[in-house]
Structure 1
Amino acid sequence: MKKRLIVMMIAVMVFTASPFMSNEAEASGTVTPSALVEYALKFKGVPYKWGGTTPSGFDCSGYLQYVFNNFGISIPRVSADQQKVGTSISKSNLKPGDLVFFVAQPGNTRISHSGIYVGNGNFVSATSSKGIAVESLNTNPYWAPRYVAAKRYSSVRETTTTPVAAPKPALPVGQYYDVSTGHWAVNEIKSLSSKGIINGYDVSIFKPENPVNRAEAATMIAKALGLKPVNGTSFKDVSSAYWANGYINVAKNAGIIDGRGNGYFEPTALVTRAEISAMLTRAFAMKATNTTVKFNDISGHWAESSVIKVASSNLATGYDDGSFKPDASAKRAELAAFIYRAIGN
């Protein structure tokens, strides 16, 4: 009798301790559906990598785990286990932020793929053919017949009952709500926007202090030079479906950009002030015009020559402490100013 009681106690402990038997994802916070979807869509075009869990390459469940982890929400690693938590949702009641699940072949029962519902009958997931891509849940000939279930996590929900303010109207091209007339780069931003070299975000927002990634930098410089997108693939981690692929290709062909080794470009990595200096030097074939330009933190740096060239050409400036900060991330307003000066406007 005593032995039987011990066995029963162990069974109860195992049952209650198993993380996959819980009905909810573990969360240290919450996220709104719109914020989750917006973040998930930032990785469109990132290539598929079996076992991948980072922006250099994702598999389907690794992608979902990465997105949720960004908001402090812990979910299981594999699709089959991700389907075991949360609340079951019918297809007709899907809302953005819900997880959708698929089987390898119609009629199977084993979950083999997962994605995030983004609204309007579409979902985003890591696919082996297109990388991170948005597909139709209802009409896609491959995914539609393989859809089997959906789950909603309680940690994905609207977190405020405050009335939402009416959306602001769009401003004329080149004007942004967060770039005042007194902003130091207002003229540069307005000029490049009117030429289609740079773009803002929805509802006339520019986010001038946001860092720029390598794909954005290559695209802006290519547009400033009037270069046209080129088909093909120049790097292992930039698929033909990636939004900036054409501009990355033409910038590579023109000798403006390099990869970061082993055939990889790392398009979503933040671009540094040194890298921007090197890109501008190659793009505009600049030479040093002022040999007295000096900074206290570039001696021996790989981009020292490029920094001197852009600084002596008055495209970029240093800081009050005499530094250039070559390895600091370039901001959107800074890059706009650099390019504006380079094209002579």
Structure 2
Amino acid sequence: MKKRIMQVLVAVLVLSIVLPFMSTKASAATGNEIVSYSKTLLGVPYRYGGTTASGFDCSGFTSYVYKKIGVSLNRTAADQYRQGTSVSKSNLQPGDLVFFNNFAPVSHVGIYIGSGKFISAESEGIAISSINDSYYWGKYYIGAKRIIKATVATPPPAPPVTDGNFADVTSSHPAYEAIKTLNVDGVINGFDNQEFRPEASVTRGQAAAMVNRVLKLTPKSTSKYSDVGTTHTFAKDIQAMTEAGILQGYTTGKFGVSDTLTKAQLAVIMDRAFKITSTANNQAHVASTYQDVAASFWAYDSIIALKVIDQTTLFQTSNFGTTKSADRAEFSAALYSAIETN
């Protein structure tokens, strides 16, 4: 009798210490916190129908522990088995409810604490046992339920790349040096997870911004394009490019800020911004033609000039693909080559 009184007094003392800590909201609770609190009740006696720290039955114990983190469980083991999400034995995590059929289809419930063990109200009181105990519990194990979502630590976002070393651009990439140089100079940036996405297309708005990061032109007025508001990220760059005659809008009054840039447009923009035709004329023209670009094509001179000044080999092909979208690697190669040869 004295032993039972001492057990109750110890339980009350423990509760007075941990209750303030267990006021954590359910949304913030973790399986490990549930396990930690349940262990403070070790030794509390078994009591049929018990739901308080003076004595528990199995479902009274699990209900009591979960209630402390703001989660309501059904009263009986069988009813608790109808809650939550089923979990395989191989995927058990601390805080999951584990169930047994030692007396009825669902007659016992406990809290999984890790390493193949669970804590529950057994005949001798709150105790820890193995779910794989071949002499008893292992024979009666029937399943598990996850009541709270597993808490997974979200890693902090990777810092933006500023040294040109992107995760998806190796040193063997033809445009590696161009991409690296432009990134270090703050002309072109990457995406999340330190990716550059070299095959992603370039929009007209992005092209205007990147070229102006090199030229650093200041517009004299605000944009008048219907699809470029004054607060648009690229508004000043677009207006500066327009005033300089480098990148014009459409006759519809729109700039086409989100339209993809074609490779022919890329060559012409480089020519208007950096006069690459003049530069190319001063260099030897070796195999400086494309099979798919006729001499009468409107952007012929600019396209041939781009091939002549190319510092990356990206444009040293037999065909150019005038109507294809310019990707980020090609834009970087063109811009880098234009800068390097001026």
Structure with higher RCO (Cα < 8 A, 6+ apart): 1
Normalising by structure 2, what TM-score? 0.49
Normalising by structure 1, what TM-score? 0.48
More helix by share: 2
